[in-house]
Structure 1
């Protein structure tokens, strides 16, 4: 692995930790900016590196480093109601990054595909804490769809801005 790749991984892990601290309380699952960084890591990094970013982020949090929302850490976040959403991040970023190699797939499509992965895993996990899948959808997905689509568009804008102005992301 090159120094450039290691540096980008470290930067994106840091951005995940920062994004998780930008919180808007919206029910049992906090509204944070983590998803923007998940999208960006998928858009800008190689599949393996986008996966590594998300795994390192989760491991830091599991081992108690306060990288999760509210400057918190610990295994409780993974086994709690929002754990499925957190666990989905590596899969989402990896798939988004894989999609970018297909010239036929747009950023919007790959971002939506990544978002569906986040929703599906998070929804199934949240179901454990609710009475049924409908309640899990109403509590854990429905209030976030609008905001998450906005985050996707913000991510695409930032990605295009970075690619047009920074050479660090060429061939990454």
Structure 2
């Protein structure tokens, strides 16, 4: 994949925005509420599948390299043992899926944008919850059932995440249309 300077800047921008979103938190036990998903969804819907996923991959790699870009100022290779790390992996898939669907749908409206961001959100949960379950049971020695993992890894976040999906859906169609018109994105 050939990547232009403009694309590199946009990818870096969304990696940085996701890192900023990690610092805007509502602390609750196990997995904090952050704005990371909001910027992950924007990355996918604005940059498309490959560049959106690349922005999230770079975000995760920068954090694993030791920069404190994860929620609560975390970073380093040891973060893979955190119950929330699966959600970070999920962001890569999420940005790809949201971007892919936006590319396939062409012009999007609020409803289409909401649907594709919700699909992306489901992908985040599909990766995040099993990792949460595994990490709790195997790394932290906290015996947790699947329903328990859903109870702590999905239920507290669904409403807030759906609100984030709505925010993206309201803003994204205009932003995508404007950026396409300016030939900043395809």
TM-score, scaled relative to structure 2:
0.85
Task: Tell me how far apart the structure 1 counterparts of residues 118 and 105 of structure 2 sit (CA, whole Å).
Answer: 16
- Paired residues for 1:16-165 under 5 Å: 16-103=18-105, 106-128=112-134, 129=136, 130-163=143-176, 165=178
Kindly state the Cα deviation for residue 76 of structure 1 after the two structures are TM-superposed: 2.6
Matched residue SS, 1:142: coil
Structure 1 distance, partners of 2:155, 2:71, is 20
Change (3 A) 1:29 1:169: farther
Check the 8 A contact 1:42/1:96 in 2, yes or no.
Answer: yes
Q: Which moved more, 1:94-103 or 1:56-65?
A: 94-103
Distance verdict in 2 for CA 1:152–1:169, change over 3 Å: farther
- Measured against aligned partners, the alpha-carbon deviations of 1:17-65 in whole angstroms (never above 9, x if no partner) come to 1011001012210100000001001100121111110110000000101
* CA distance in structure 2 between the aligned counterparts of 1:81 and 1:39, rounded to whole angstroms: 21
Residue 143 of structure 1 aligns to a residue whose secondary structure is coil
Unaligned runs of 5+ in 1: none
The separation in 2 between residues aligned to 1:19 and 1:161, in whole angstroms, is: 22
Distance 1:113 1:63, change over 3 A: same
Shift of 1:116: 0.7
Gaps (5+ residues) in structure 2? 137-142
Q: TM-score, normalised by structure 1?
A: 0.92
* Max Rg structure: 2
Aligned CA RMSD, in angstroms, stands at: 1.8
Give CA-to-partner distance per residue, 1:56-94, whole Å, 9 cap, x none: 000000010111112221123222110111111100100
